[in-house]
Amino acid sequence: MIFTILFDLTVAIIVGVGLSLILMLVRLSKLQINYERVDMDRLGCDDENLKKRYSNAMVAYITGPLLFANISVLEELPQKIANCDTVMLSMRGVSSIDVSAVQTLLGILTELKNKGVDITIYGLPSASMHMLYRAGITDLLGEKVFYWSVERALLDNRPYAKC
């Protein structure tokens, strides 16, 4: 409204569209990671071996695009899961991944693997999976760590193999 008074209507519309685009980009680049301990009782699982296997496991639910603008949120991952022996990355909400985020993720996963942490990845869209493949993450972790759902992997009773 102020721009309409100060300038003509065309300039005011251009400024409004520009501000809208900037606000949309800020909102779309927001990354959120929620951390939860694995609770086998929520799955209705009575198997004591599974409960023991995942007693020190954490699921990180990642929502939003992984972009250079929000890498700092991703870099907090190792501190948040510091004492866990199993980390499950639920990436169903990751709409896209850029090269800088994949390189950061590769570094984090390499560090975790070198510490002996068991890593699994869930619900990754095919375009994002292709980026992980190109970056060498599938070579680092292997094909068998990718699942469609957290529940499926938990019930598969994956053995914990400390590296």
Domains of the chain: 1-29 (no CATH), 31-155 (3.30.750.24)
Which residue did the predictor score with more confidence, 54 or 112? Answer: 112
Average pLDDT, integer, range 93-111: 91
Residue 120's nearest CA partner among 81, 76, 150 is 150
Return the pLDDT at 111: 94
Collapse the DSSP code of 88 into the 3-class scheme (helix H, G, I; strand E, B; otherwise coil) and give the result.
strand
pLDDT value, residue 23: 81
Strand partners, 66: 97
Tell me the average pLDDT of the chain: 84
Q: Please determine, for residue 141, whether its predicted confidence score (pLDDT) is greater than 80.
A: yes
pLDDT of residue 119: 92
Least trusted range by pLDDT, from 26-35, 81-90, 116-125, 142-151: 26-35
Helix (H, G, I), strand (E, B) or coil at 87: strand
**For residue 131, how far is the Cα from the chain centroid?**
13
Mean per-residue pLDDT for 85-91? Answer: 91
How are beta strands 57-63 and 146-147 bridged, if at all? unpaired
6 band by pLDDT with thresholds 50, 70 and 90: low
Please say whether the beta carbons of 91 and 62 come within 8 A. Answer: yes
| Exposure string for 60-71, b = 16+ CB within 10 A, e = fewer | bbbebbbbebbb
**Cβ atoms 73, 31 nearer than 8 A:** yes
Q: Specify whether the CB–CB gap between 132 and 138 falls below 8 A.
A: yes
Tokens linked to 83: 């004492």
Q: H or E element: which one contains 89?
A: strand 86-93
CA distance 65 to 159: 31
pLDDT for the residue numbered 52: 84
Q: pTM for the whole thing?
A: 0.78
Residue corresponding to tokens 């251009």: 14
